[in-house]
Structure 1
């Protein structure tokens, strides 16, 4: 008998992980249905780029498809290839468009390229001249100065009687640059520009609004909306209450230690304790996407003295103290009764008690980056949707 045979079998990997992530697929499905409701007469797509905002394309894509989504947006073609297995009857739009050498990938997986430049448009004309009619979408820049044909060029294309008859976009779209700020005057300016586009491409479906734009009202909905961050529990509009939390990230406490008033904490000794304290050292750091800028001190970007992030355990908010390091973060748990916290327990990093966007703001960023920066070390658990 090997000595290893005497050891107990490992527990469930999630229960013993150093860092772990729970993804509530029921909340994801409910959030999509809510955004579909808010989209009024428009259909609601689902944006699943960047591995479904870091939460897993396979599980999230399947859940959204089963919830009723039939239009999806990905960033690159390979994401669309992966998604096709889980959304067999969906239209899948690829926002980065198509380039030479990708034709087979698009055709075999029934992906719809979103053409966003004169170069892509010219290439696509050659593709359809050789292979015949195939659906595409056309992105128009209405003031973002990112991807998209300039407005004047798009209007000229619509009126160009010499364009191939086989050029048949199934969707024209644009993107609001300040949709998360409802009072921004640019929203109405972009809306007016896009209305010119939809009039020029009469009879072709149109889409302007991602998550934030949906909240601007019916005028911004057109035929298809493109909710993204709102589906995953992030704030779509600055300062507005998000929908249901989908992701809960937790770090395991490796040690609880006593420290005296006047002692310092973590690299650079940037935090000095103002009282006798109990410190919980959690197994999470910037290698796990828990950003160094979430540190409780020693961050030049927060020279104004504002606090860093908080965690949550045993009903209490607990602040990060000192600098976040690659694999470890220190929380001040002095105010948590000793009998309610032990080594091996988990501190919530963000989730239902500490919102994703609160943590993001503490780190000087946004919820999008927090989710898409999740590292490879998280053990994941998916809570299945009921239907």
Structure 2
């Protein structure tokens, strides 16, 4: 468990911010080393798309590069162009591929397009016919039915002796649909199909596994793995203890502590009627900050399914969300916290080392990926250096 409180003396802006986000770069580096070790003989890349899962591609990318990552995956070329300054010697793969009008951003920043459709392949062939040899990657669909060349087309391309000499894929890849469920037969089927692809493109590196697939074992590792959510401390596999270090803590400032009587209601719609005299901590976070309305303690359809609402952590105790989450405000029931232990200006942890990212996500009926990538713009950020 990461003790975030042990690290930096906060700057004034961070100390008084309505919303705070502490990103522990040391934990991210440690998680990458862990995933690299679990990848066995395969190299471990680093997936930093969506602004490094909401945590900042500049700081996170530089940290991972210094940790030893030399292969990175982003979603769009602008992310790759930003990353290039922080990972000067890395291979940067762009998962959404290349489209007309994007050639210069790829060439100027030495980005590798991931070709994932017949249309992209045709366009890419026209580009290299004019420019000459330039690396690319090929994404093959092995059953996901998302991005990827059809398996038959990929095998035909591999066997096509007439393809241009300037067509130089450096990686063939696919993606597991059910890697987070080790018992799913889909994993074995996709592995069998991807082996056909890997064999057909002999001499070209292969990659099948993201974070979850790495935990499936060496059969799934091939030449390159692509850890993503695990680097940021999130759960990659369902139903097992998460071995990764917590890497981020989100906090909201308590704006007011108020007393409320039994029988009174809380927040919009009056969906929570208090059964006892209560103390309520009103905190400066809401769905505009990615703290979703589904995290409400009552008054949303998800609560009818039996999934309980979110909890925060303050003064050494977990405290439940009271009533509905609103755009900028969430109310926590702190009645069971010792009196005077919570004061105006204190901070409630939304997720971090005491409430895990995925615990918070489950309360919203979602996953840690969405919690991180949905972080709003109002968090004051503090990056704890990897060396500390």
Alignment TM class, shorter chain as reference: over 0.9
* Equivalent residue runs for 1:231-246 within 5 Å: 231-242=231-242, 243-246=244-247
User: What is the CA–CA distance in structure 2 between the aligned matches of 1:281 and 1:44, rounded to whole Å?
Assistant: 43
**Do the aligned partners of 2:94 and 2:111 also contact (CA within 8 Å) in 1?**
yes
User: What is the CA–CA distance in structure 1 between the aligned matches of 2:184 and 2:299, rounded to whole Å?
Assistant: 35
* Equivalent residue runs for 1:119-134 within 5 Å: 119-134=119-134
Structure 1 residue 305: deviation in Å? 4.2
Q: Secondary structure at the match of 1:236?
A: coil
Match of 1:143 in 2: 143
Match of 2:323 in 1: 322
User: What is the CA–CA distance in structure 1 between the aligned matches of 2:344 and 2:183, rounded to whole Å?
Assistant: 48
User: What is the CA–CA distance in structure 2 between the aligned matches of 1:77 and 1:195, rounded to whole Å?
Assistant: 29
**Do the aligned partners of 2:297 and 2:303 also contact (CA within 8 Å) in 1?**
no
What's the C-alpha RMSD, in Å, of the aligned pairs?
0.9
User: What is the CA–CA distance in structure 1 between the aligned matches of 2:234 and 2:307, rounded to whole Å?
Assistant: 23
Match of 2:353 in 1: 352
Is structure 2 residue 81 aligned with structure 1 residue 81?
A: yes
User: What is the CA–CA distance in structure 2 between the aligned matches of 1:262 and 1:111, rounded to whole Å?
Assistant: 61
Structure 1 residue 380: deviation in Å? 0.2
Is structure 2 residue 273 aligned with structure 1 residue 269?
A: no
Q: Secondary structure at the match of 1:340?
A: coil
Structure 1 residue 306: deviation in Å? 3.2
Match of 2:290 in 1: 289
Structure 1 residue 338: deviation in Å? 1.6
Match of 1:336 in 2: 337
User: What is the CA–CA distance in structure 2 between the aligned matches of 1:200 and 1:38, rounded to whole Å?
Assistant: 26
User: What is the CA–CA distance in structure 2 between the aligned matches of 1:260 and 1:313, rounded to whole Å?
Assistant: 22
Match of 1:163 in 2: 163
User: 1:365-385: per-residue Cα shift (whole Å, max 9, x none)?
Assistant: 100000000000000000000
User: What is the CA–CA distance in structure 2 between the aligned matches of 1:61 and 1:306, rounded to whole Å?
Assistant: 36
Match of 1:99 in 2: 99
Q: Secondary structure at the match of 2:257?
A: strand
Aligned length: 377
Is structure 2 residue 49 aligned with structure 1 residue 43?
A: no
Match of 2:4 in 1: none
The list of structure 1 runs, each at least 4 consecutive aligned residues, that deviate by more than 4 angstroms after superposition, is none
Match of 1:369 in 2: 370
User: What is the CA–CA distance in structure 2 between the aligned matches of 1:36 and 1:241, rounded to whole Å?
Assistant: 19
Normalising by the residue count of structure 1, what TM-score does the alignment of the two structures yield?
0.96
Match of 1:202 in 2: 202
Normalising by the residue count of structure 2, what TM-score does the alignment of the two structures yield?
0.96
Q: Which runs of 5+ in 2 are unaligned?
A: 1-10
Q: Secondary structure at the match of 1:303?
A: helix
